[in-house]
């Protein structure tokens, strides 16, 4: 059995999975949304990388993904392919979240820099008078 490195390309993963091109397309098109959903839940729950997820969490995800694949008539995946996909998927989710947060921070900083600056002078009754009149009441 071939070992799938975490840095492997999708083509290398296809070879390790033993799928021809059509099988891989069917598998990968169905597999991506399933693993992305699982990865979002893991990030929400653990907010860590795949390697930091507890064993039982990984096992549960693997069983759910394989169950979903089996329901679609797609062969189950082995541990190394699951690890490869989840590492990539969780990294993508975290990178997207980080870039979204950075964009929000930039927007907030820009909004703050465009806000009106408070006046550095004190209120002056004569200078800041808005009615344009004098202090003497007209009779």
DSSP of 25-87, one letter per residue? HHHHHHHHHHHHHHHHHHHHHH-S-GGGS-HHHHHHHHHHHHHHHHHTT-PPPPHHHHHHHHH
Six-digit token string for 133: 């009149």
The answer to whether the pTM exceeds 0.75 is no
pLDDT in tens, the chain (139 residues): 567 888 899 999 988 888 888 888 888 888 888 889 999 988 888 777 888 889 999 999 999 988 988 887 778 888 989 999 999 899 888 888 888 888 888 888 877 666 666 666 777 777 777 765 555 555 4
Residue 10's φ and ψ, nearest 5 degrees, are -60, -35
């Amino acid at each position: 059995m071939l070992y799938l490195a975490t840095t492997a390309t999708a083509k290398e993963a296809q070879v390790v999975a033993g799928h021809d091109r059509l099988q891989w397309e069917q598998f990968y098109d169905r597999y991506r949304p399933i693993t992305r959903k699982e990865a979002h839940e893991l990030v929400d729950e653990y907010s860590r990388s795949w390697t930091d997820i507890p064993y039982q969490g990984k096992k549960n995800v693997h069983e759910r993904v394989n169950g979903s694949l089996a329901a679609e008539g797609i062969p189950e995946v082995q541990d190394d392919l699951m690890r490869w996909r989840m590492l990539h998927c969780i990294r993508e989710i975290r990178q997207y979240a980080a870039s979204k947060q950075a964009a929000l921070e930039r927007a907030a900083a820009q909004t703050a820099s465009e806000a009106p600056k408070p006046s550095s002078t004190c209120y002056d009754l004569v200078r800041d008078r808005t009615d344009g009149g004098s202090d003497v009441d007209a009779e």
